[in-house]
Structure formats: structure tokens, C-alpha cells
Amino acid sequence: MTWQTFAFLIVGGFAALISGKRFHTLYLLMKAKKGTAPKFGEVARRIQTTLVNVLGQKAVLESPVIGVAHTAIFWGFLIISLGTVEQFCMTLWDTASFEFIGHPLYSLFIQSQDLFTALVLIGVIVAAVRRLIFRPKHLGQSMDANIVLLFTGGLMISIFMMNAFHSLTHPWFADDYFISKHIADGIGHFGFDEGESHGLFTLFKWIHMCLVLGFGMYIPGSKHLHLVAAGPNTYLRHLDREKGMKMINFEDETLTQYGVGKINDMSWKDALDLYSCTECGRCQSLCPAWNTDKPLSPKNLIIDLKKNLHANKEAMLAKKEEEITPVIDTHVTEDVIWACTSCRACEIACPVFIEHTDKIYDIRRNLVMMESKFPTEVQAVFKNMETNGTPWAFSPGERANWAQGLDVKTVAEAGSAQDLDVLLWVGCAGAYDERNKSVVKSFVSILNKAGVKFAILGTEETCTGDAARRIGNEYLYQTLAKANIETLNRYNVKRIVTACPHCFNTIKNEYKDMGGEYEVFHHSQYVGKLISEGKIKPTKSIDETVTFHDSCYLGRWNNVYAQPRAVLQSIPKVNLVEMKQHHDQGLCCGAGGGRMWMEEHIGKRINVTRSEQAIETKATTVATACPFCITMISDGMKTKDMADKIKVRDIVEIIDEAT
């Protein structure tokens, strides 16, 4: 034991106390959350995803340059931490080195320290150059990030200096310090004697240790909390691509508050999400709202919610409910919350699997169901859904009018769903909207050509409730869903096909929580199946350059990217081209999340922005697979004066023409 033992006990103990307390507060804040977190089964898959994404850095590497730099820093930290542990041990007890592992291994250990120190330093330089010189827009300027880069750079430099002096006093290790020995060579010119070298080694060791301890105290309040939180958050991530919104049990009479009005209404998992954010801005750079000058940035939303959590720390821990301030404040405004199209680009891009849409939905639920606050134009939509079972102002009695004169039976006429191949779910757009009626008619024509036995529910169908749910009116959603599930189950329906990705997503991923389990196809999948089974043959050529616009609820929410493209490519002469944003990076048409039913007052119109991307491809046809997309892109083309030059058609209209 030396003076260092005592010094370290005092300094280390102090630092451990401070950071321990700060982490403990974070833990208590998680515990003070009232909302229910999802269940976390499937341990094997969770371990796998953690290995792949934490150790393997898969999600981080989606951005190549910074991904590699981050991987170097991440692995460097893991390896160098081993050296730091040894350093702490030896400071406490000077013979407690790791040399007991034997010569070749210990050599390797030292070499690895040197190697990874260099890699981290390079990583830090890349990150600093990017942050301070290239300044990508989505990153923003962050003092916190600069401090952390300084910390990390300082740590690495202190390690190199420490190792260099160590190799001077311990020349038998010099070969293992294969990088720092070159620094030692340089230092050699100053002619330090052994005592001085040893003293300087101790100095740099203490600089290093103090930086480590300082870092430990700093991170709980920094974006670098992700060092600790992102691992668990990855383990607890939503595992599947498909995701249903969480249910509220309205039968539960103890529930007096719905959605999130205050930050403690969220669940502990939401808090962990907030702790995990690295402020990388990947979510923001793909957000259709942000990119068209709306006040919503998913990154800022997460940062602001985290600030709200910290601002309400005292009140939450003291359980002073009335002192906790609302989540809607000067940063997270109502406009922020209503700007979201629920396109999910943010979640898919997030390297630490933060779920932004859940938080937005929860806040909407509170605004709608508790406060009755929402864009005024939505009230008529809710009322239409309540009385007529459709967001449009049409009578439920007219729901099947589109099928007049066509050979389309209702399930009631067919007797039962048992003898049917599939039930055609028409959806409100297909039933009432002129443009989309013709899409459904084309689909019916294809089904008839293929000899598919199908039927519709006719006037017994009602709105799936998707828009109500995403706007935050869970109560209305459940009323509508219950009626539909009751009808579908009464007819014993097993298989459903629909031309609407919103209906598709809701019936497939959300009705099962209310007792509706069906095999559900989107029409692109069904038509793909008919083509591969040879039941329809697209033999007529269509000599057009076609670009396919991904619907969010087909692509990002259900991973259906390949089938609609394959369907288009099965047509002779079709030349399929991609827009600059497609697949997971595709740009929303602007209508999801109930935005179809709201005015777009702020910024540039999303549909126009998307239409411009389509125009850039020089395509002559934009193919869509969603009633909202077709409406939005058609409008966008009109705004751009391109409506007579570029056709906007659903894929089934194109296939119907080709068969």
C-alpha cells in the first residue's frame, strides 16, 4: 500500500458516490413511472439481437463512415476498460497486476491496449471532424457531444503518455507497447531519468484515472448515458417489424386517466428509451415532418421529453403529483404532436431502438380522450366514424354501392365464408372515394379473371378504426374494431385480402388483441400469389417507366417491399426505377397517422415533396398500393402541374390492364 492507495480510496470513493447517486436517481425516476411497459418474452431472440447490435454494432453500421468510427470507439472502450480495471487494482494494491495470466496472454493484453487506444483516437478524430467541420444538419451543435469527445480524446492521449513512460521504466515491455514505444522514443530526447519518468508515468496515470472517474460522474446527465442504457434498450427492443398499438382496457374502472399527460404517465421502458438516445439525428434526417419544416423532430422530441423528466425529478420522487408539469410545454407543443404521420422512419432508423411513435400516440390519447384537444377538422371525422362508420360523410347504407352492376357477392349472400377463398375487405376509401372505387373495381376484375371465390361484407363492413386510433381516440377505435371482429367471427372468416395498407395493418396486427385472428393479405401480396400460381398472366406489355411509392404501413410497418415491386416487374416492358428515397428510407405521402384528415398548415406540403422525388426519376407512372398515397400523390402532381404527364395508379390497375 502506498499513498496512492489512500488517495485513490478518497478520490474514487467520492466519484463513485456521486455517480452512484446520479444513476440511482435515474433508476428511481424509471420506477416512479406509472404506465405499463410491454412484456419482454423470447429471451433467445433478445440475446441474439443484443449480440448482433451491441457487440456487432449492426444498427450503428447502417451509416458506414461514422458507424465504423463508432465501432472502433465502442470496442476500444470495452478492451481499454480491462486495462483500466487493472490500473485501479494496481493503484489500490501495487502487485495486483493481471500478469498472472501468463506471458503470451499478458503481452497480447498490453498490445491490445495500445492498438485500441489508437483506434479510439482515430474514431474520435473522425467524429470530431464530422461534427465540427462537415456538420451534418441532423446532428446539430451540441456542447455535450464536444465535451464527451474531449473527454475521450483526453483519455486516449493520457493512456499513450502513460504507456510511453511505462515502457521507458519497464523496457522489457517496450516491444508490447508497439505504438506508444514510438512516443517513448520521442520522449527519450528530453533525457528524463528513471525517477522523472516514473513520476510522469504516475502523473499521466492519475490524469487518466481522474478522467475516467469524471466521465463516470458526467455521463448520467449526458447523451452518453447511452453507454449504459443502449445495451439494455437493445435487449428490450420491439423484436418484430410488425407492431400493434398498445391496448387500453376501458372495462378497468380503476383507470381514470388515459394516455400520457405528464411524464410519469409513461412507462419505465419509455424512460429507458429517453436515457438511450445518442442524439445521432438519424431519426430526424428521415422524418417527413422535419424535412418539410414542421416543428416536429423525433430527435428533439426525445431530448425534450428527457428534459421534462429531469425538470420534474423532484416532484416525481416526492410523489407530488400536482407539481408535475404537463408533457405539452413550450418545446413539445401540440403542433409537434399533431405533425407526426406515424411513418415510423424514425424508429426504423434509430440505432438504439427507441420507439418514438408510442410516445406520440400516448400523448395524443391524452389530448383527445382527456382534454378533447385536437385539430378542429378532426371532430367531423370522429363524428362520421361514430355515426356512419366511415371518416367520410357517407351513409353506411351506401357502402356497397360501388359494387352495383358488378359480379360481387356479400358473405351474407354467399351464406358463409367457409366456401370462399378469401374475403375482400373493401375499406372506406374503396367504398366511398371515387378514385379508389376504381382501384377496388380493378382488383375485383383481377380476382374474377383468376377465378378466385371471394365476397365482401357489404354494408356490414365498417371502418377499421385505424385513423381514430392513430389520432388518439382509442375508445372510438375499440368500438369500431369490436363491431368488425364480431361480424368477421360470426361469418367464420379466416382469410382476408384488402387493397388498403391501413386496413391490412390494423386487421393483421391489431385485431388479434381483441379476439380477431385472421390470415391477412395486402392486395400486392395476393396478386403476387396469383401471378406465381399462374392464375393470372400479365402478358400485355406496358411500355412505361414506373416508380413505386412505398406506403409506410406496407413497408416500414409490415416489411412488404418486394412483392409490389415483383408484381410490377412481371409486366412485360415495365421499366421500374427507384426514387431517391425508397424502402426503409422512403418518404411518407403525408397522410398516415390520421394526417389524411388534418389540414397541413405549417411548412412545405409532404405530398408535394414526395411528388417532386417521383418527378425527378423521369417516370411516366407512379405506382402506389394505398388509397391515401394515391390521393396524396395525385394531389401533389396536380400542384406540380404534372397531372397530365405522370399517371398515378394503383398496382392492381396496372396489372388489370396487363392481364
Partner 1 sequence: MNLYVCIKQVPDTETKIKLNGDSSGIDAAGIKWIMSPYDEFAVEEALRVKEKNAGSTVTVVTAGPDRVVDTLRTALAMGADNAIHIELPESADSTMAAKAIAATLKKEAQIDLIYFGKEAIDDGASQVPQRVAAHLGLPSVTVVVGIEYSGTTLKCKREIEGGSYEMVEVTAPAVIATSKGLNEPRYATLPNIMKAKKKEVKAVKLADIGVSAADQKIKTKNLQLPPPKQAGKKIEGDAAAQAKALVAALHNDAKVV
Q: Which residues bind partner 1 (CB under 8 A)?
A: 250, 256, 258, 368-372, 374, 376, 379, 382-384, 387-388, 393-398, 475
Binding-site partner at residue 354 among ligand SF4, partner 1, none, CB < 5 to 8 Å by type: ligand SF4
Applying CB under 6 A, the site for ligand SF4 has a residue count of 29
The stretch among 171-179, 245-253, 341-349, 469-477 that binds ligand SF4 (CB under 6 A) is: 341-349
CB of 641 to partner 1, least distance (A): 29
Residues 155-194 that bind ligand SF4 (CB under 6 A): none
Closest to ligand SF4 by CB, 357 vs 442, is 357
Q: Which of 211, 277, 614, 646 binds ligand SF4 (CB under 6 A)?
A: 277
Please identify, using beta-carbon distances, which residue of 430 and 594 lies nearer to ligand SF4. Answer: 594
| Nearest-angstrom CA–CA distance, 165 and 148 | 26
Instruction: Give the number of other CB atoms < 10 A from CB of residue 228.
Output: 15
* Cβ atoms of 365 and 478 closer than 8 Å: no
349 binds ligand SF4 (CB under 6 A): yes
Smallest gap from Cβ 35 to partner 1, in A, equals: 17
**Degrees (nearest 5) of the Cα angle 93, 95, 101?**
125
Cα(239)–Cα(117) distance, integer angstroms: 34
Q: Please give the grid coordinates belonging to residue 567.
A: 408484381
507 binds ligand SF4 (CB under 6 A): no
Of the pair 282, 649, the CB lying nearest ligand SF4 is at 282
Smallest separation, CB 353 to ligand SF4 (Å): 8
Rg (CA), the chain: 30
CB 598 to partner 1: min, Å? 15
What are the angstrom distances between the C-alpha of 186 and each of 154, 158, 651?
19, 16, 69
- Is the alpha carbon torsion for 411, 551, 281, 296 positive or negative? negative
Least Å distance, CB 391 to partner 1, is 12
Q: Which residue has the cell 400536482?
A: 322
Amino acid at 636: G
Does residue 458 sit in helix, strand or coil? helix
270 interacts with ligand SF4 by CB under 6 A: no
Interaction partner, residue 395 (ligand SF4, partner 1, none; CB < 5-8 Å by kind): partner 1
Question: Cβ(416)–Cβ(493) under 8 Å?
Answer: no
Distance between CA atoms of 353 and 236, rounded to whole angstroms?
9
Q: Rounded to the nearest whole angstrom, what is the least distance from the CB of residue 389 to partner 1 in the complex?
A: 9
Q: Which is nearer to ligand SF4, 540 or 604 (CB)?
A: 604
User: 395 or 492: whose CB is closer to partner 1?
Assistant: 395
Instruction: Find where cell 388518439 sits.
Output: 472
Give min distance, CB of 71 to ligand SF4, in A.
16
**Closer residue to partner 1, CB minimum distance, 87 or 388:** 388
Secondary structure (DSSP) of 502-571:
HHHHIIIIIGGGGT---EEEEHHHHHHHHHHTTSS---S----EEEEPPPTTTTTTT---HHHHHHHHTS
User: Is position 280 an interface residue for ligand SF4 (rule: CB under 6 A)?
Assistant: yes
Q: Residues 15, 183, 289, 500: which binds ligand SF4 (CB under 6 A)?
A: 289
Out of 60, 148, 183, 283, the only residue in the binding site for ligand SF4 (CB under 6 A) is 283
Give the one entry of partner 1, ligand SF4, none that residue 350 binds, where binding means its C-beta sits below a cut-off of 5 to 8 angstroms depending on kind. ligand SF4
Using the rule CB under 6 A, give the single segment among 262-270, 322-330, 339-347, 363-371 that binds ligand SF4.
339-347
Q: Which part of the chain contacts ligand SF4 (CB under 6 A), choosing from 71-79, 93-101, 293-301, 378-386?
A: 293-301
Q: For the chain, first and last CA: distance in Å?
A: 87
CB of 423 to partner 1, least distance (A): 23
Provide, rounded to whole angstroms, the least separation between the CB of residue 552 and ligand SF4: 8
For residue 51, give the C-alpha cell. Answer: 449480440
Q: What is the spatial distance between Cα 271 and Cα 283, in angstroms, rounded to a whole number?
A: 18
Closest to 359 (Cα-Cα) out of 593, 86, 611: 593
CA 216 – CA 232 distance, rounded (Å): 18
Q: Answer for the pair 353, 238: CB distance below 8 angstroms, yes or no.
A: yes
Instruction: For residue 344, state whether it binds ligand SF4 (rule: CB under 6 A).
Output: yes
Q: Does 299 bind ligand SF4 (CB under 6 A)?
A: yes
Which sign, positive or negative, has the C-alpha torsion 212, 213, 215, 216?
positive
Long-range contacts of range 109-114, CB-CB < 8 Å, 24 or more positions apart?
109/82, 109/83, 110/173, 110/176, 110/177, 111/176, 111/178, 112/79, 113/79, 113/80, 113/82, 113/83, 113/159, 113/163, 114/163, 114/176, 114/177, 114/178, 114/179, 114/180
Angstrom distance (rounded) from CA 633 to CA 624 = 9
> From the list 342, 505, 524, 631, which residue makes contact with ligand SF4 (rule: CB under 6 A)?
342
Closest separation in Å from C-beta 476 to partner 1: 10
CA distances for 325 relative to 125, 136, 265, 311, 328, angstroms: 41, 34, 12, 9, 8
Of 69, 209, 332, 346, which one interacts with ligand SF4 (CB under 6 A)?
Answer: 346
Strand 519-522 to 495-498 pairing: parallel
The distance of closest approach from Cβ of residue 643 to ligand SF4 in the complex, given in angstroms and rounded to an integer, is 26
Binding partner selected for residue 277 from ligand SF4, partner 1, none, CB under the kind-specific 5 to 8 Å limit: ligand SF4
CB of 493 to partner 1, least distance (A): 23
As to burial, measured by CB atoms within 10 angstroms (0-12 exposed, 13-18 middle, 19+ buried), residue 388 is: buried
Q: Which is nearer to ligand SF4, 61 or 207 (CB)?
A: 61
Q: What SS3 state is found at 498?
A: strand
Binding mask 357-376 for ligand SF4 (x = CB under 6 A): x-------------------
Question: From the list ligand SF4, partner 1, none, which binds 343 (C-beta under 5 to 8 Å, kind-based)?
Answer: ligand SF4
Residue 290 CB, nearest approach to ligand SF4 (Å): 6
Query: Can you tell me which of 229, 296, 467, 499 binds ligand SF4, judged by CB under 6 A?
Result: 296
Q: Which residues bind ligand SF4 (CB under 6 A)?
A: 277-283, 286-289, 296, 298-299, 302, 340-346, 349-352, 354, 356-357
